[in-house]
């Protein structure tokens, strides 16, 4: 693909992640919005909902069969799990082949799709046009475990807490501020989708216990790792600096990061690195904004690679 004048469409743009994508696209020198779809906002001006957008575009509600005719070079599917497949089938049936980036879990286990966690899968990039964007928790889990996965003596055990924006905009207990007030709500304590996803792509079993908290955005994951041999804290940190030292969107810290410091920022932070007295257990803390590095920012990293520009184009760096 050439790098000028690419048109991008967003399907399911009403949600929190859709709005963040519009903000990123609005600042992008090589992308312009072709369409943004939302049945709830159909006909309303985009700039009435996303102040960073400057233009006349309005939300629309095209049928799946209409999507291939809208002239987008890149299409982002920001839809609930189970809804992306029909959109992809519409493009296939029409013989239209844009770059498609899917933010749902629909294709994260499909070998035909590129799994786009750049810091861990960049070397396997082969110019694919179908990209599955990792889940927010799954991103934090994998970044926390990958540098030590060859030394694991047992499955990693991960305790996660996310802001309620991670539960989407459809009303539920998990995004009801009143029910969350002064509360920490556990859910899907075994078999969570992101547990399966991280296990699949790391190639090691991962145990994950998610919770939702009263804050709006940002997640934290505390991971307990049992090691097959003794390691010092300095050795552990050297592994992480070696893995992520050149990564602009992963910061390795000495101290444990705070979720309150990551909200609205585009990178992940990993720190803590508490090592037990026998050197065979380490506890690591990772934070990221679930709407940004956990979704929209990571999608933009993948889009940038697909259209042939620098991976961090239009992404504010820490």
Active site residues: 136
Q: To 10 degrees, the CA torsion angle through 151, 153, 155, 161?
A: -70
Residues 6+ apart with CB under 8 A from 70: 9, 34, 35, 62
The residue assigned the tokens 């990293």 is 301
Per the document, the length of the chain is 318
Cα separation, 183 vs 208, in Å, equals: 20
SS3 at position 159? strand
Cα separation, 247 vs 236, in Å, equals: 18
How does strand 6-11 pair with strand 74-77?
Answer: parallel
Point out which residues pair with 58 in neighbouring strands. 45
The residue assigned the tokens 């233009």 is 55
DSSP-derived secondary structure for 222-278: EEEEEBSS---HHHHHHHHHHHHTT-TTEEE-SSPP-GGGTTT-SSEEEEEEEE-TT
Cα separation, 160 vs 144, in Å, equals: 12
- For residues 162 and 213, the answer to whether their CB atoms sit within 8 Å is yes
**Helices 16-26 & 297-307 angle (0-180, nearest 10):** 40
């Amino acid at each position: 693909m050439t790098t000028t004048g690419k048109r991008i469409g967003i399907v399911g743009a009403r949600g929190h992640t859709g709005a963040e994508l519009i903000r990123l696209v609005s600042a992008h020198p090589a992308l312009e919005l072709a369409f943004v779809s939302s049945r709830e906002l159909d006909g309303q001006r985009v700039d009435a909902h996303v102040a960073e957008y400057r233009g006349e575009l309005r939300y629309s509600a095209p049928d799946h069969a209409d999507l291939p005719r809208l002239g987008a070079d890149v299409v982002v599917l920001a839809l609930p799990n189970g809804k992306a497949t029909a959109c992809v089938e519409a493009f296939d049936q029409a013989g239209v082949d844009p770059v498609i980036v899917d933010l749902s879990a629909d294709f994260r286990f499909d070998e035909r799709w590129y799994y786009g966690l750049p810091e861990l899968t960049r070397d396997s990039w082969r110019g694919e046009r179908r990209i599955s964007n990792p889940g927010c928790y799954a991103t934090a889990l994998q970044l926390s475990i990958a540098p030590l996965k060859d030394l694991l003596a047992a499955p990693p055990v991960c305790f996660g807490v996310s802001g309620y924006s991670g539960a989407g905009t459809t009303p539920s207990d998990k995004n009801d501020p009143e029910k969350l007030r002064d509360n920490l709500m556990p859910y899907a304590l075994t078999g969570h989708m992101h547990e399966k996803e991280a296990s699949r792509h790391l190639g090691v079993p991962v145990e994950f216990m998610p919770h939702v908290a009263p804050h709006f955005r940002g997640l934290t994951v505390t991971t307990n790792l049992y090691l097959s041999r003794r390691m010092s804290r300095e050795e552990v940190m050297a592994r992480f600096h070696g893995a992520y030292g050149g990564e602009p969107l992963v910061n390795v810290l000495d101290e444990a990061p705070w979720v309150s410091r990551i909200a609205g920022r585009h990178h992940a932070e990993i720190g803590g690195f508490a090592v037990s007295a026998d050197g065979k257990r380490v506890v690591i803390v990772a934070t990221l904004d679930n709407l940004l590095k956990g979704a929209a920012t990571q999608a933009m990293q993948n889009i940038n690679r697909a259209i042939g520009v620098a991976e961090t184009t239009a992404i504010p760096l820490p």
